[in-house]
């Protein structure tokens, strides 16, 4: 199974809806697709994109700190599956040369990845399924 390198191409935030959208675009190609996320995750991503600092650690900063303090390094984010209109993701953590995968909501994974300049990948079969 091949993973395709993606990047966050845009974020759409509207306060009149219960959901927000982010769009991922293929780094070396034309494919793209939206993911519906919550307002808090959208706000966390937007803060990072705008380089806005918060006075206390938010959930994503806390998780990054825990990973680091436990001797790990967040290596990449992978959107692993799409089932019944729901995306699934993993945090891939390098811990002394061993890869540890941690199940995550894509919105949380992407917020953490954006905060730490970590690459985002999407499984090829997920791109195929998202296109239909």
Question: Contact at 8 Å (CB) between 52 and 91?
Answer: no
pTM for this predicted structure? 0.88
> H or E segment at 102?
strand 98-104
pLDDT surpassing 80 at residue 132:
no
Pairing of strands 72-83, 86-95: antiparallel
pLDDT surpassing 90 at residue 13:
no
Residue 54 binned pLDDT confidence (cut-offs 50, 70, 90)? confident
Q: What is the per-residue DSSP string for 9-26?
A: EEEE--TTSS-EEEEEEE
User: What average pLDDT does range 4-15 have in this prediction?
Assistant: 89
Q: Where are the domains of the chain?
A: 3-130
Question: Where would I find the H helices in 50-105?
Answer: 59-69
Question: Contact at 8 Å (CB) between 71 and 83?
Answer: no
CATH 3.40.630.180 fits 3-130, yes or no: no
Average pLDDT, the chain: 90
User: What pLDDT is stored for residue 1 in this prediction?
Assistant: 62
Token pair, residue 126, equals 């997920």
């Amino acid at each position: 199974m091949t993973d395709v390198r993606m990047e966050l191409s845009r974020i759409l935030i509207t306060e009149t809806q219960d959901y927000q959208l982010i769009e991922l675009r293929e780094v070396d190609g034309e494919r793209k697709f939206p993911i519906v996320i919550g307002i808090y995750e959208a706000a966390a991503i937007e803060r990072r994109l705008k380089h806005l600092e918060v006075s206390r650690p938010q959930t994503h900063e806390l998780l990054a700190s825990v990973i680091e303090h436990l001797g790990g390094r967040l290596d990449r984010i992978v959107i692993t599956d799409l089932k019944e209109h729901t995306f699934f993701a993993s945090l891939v953590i390098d811990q002394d040369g061993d890869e540890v995968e941690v199940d995550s909501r894509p919105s949380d994974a992407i917020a953490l990845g954006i905060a730490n300049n970590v690459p985002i990948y999407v499984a090829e079969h997920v791109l195929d399924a998202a296109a239909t």
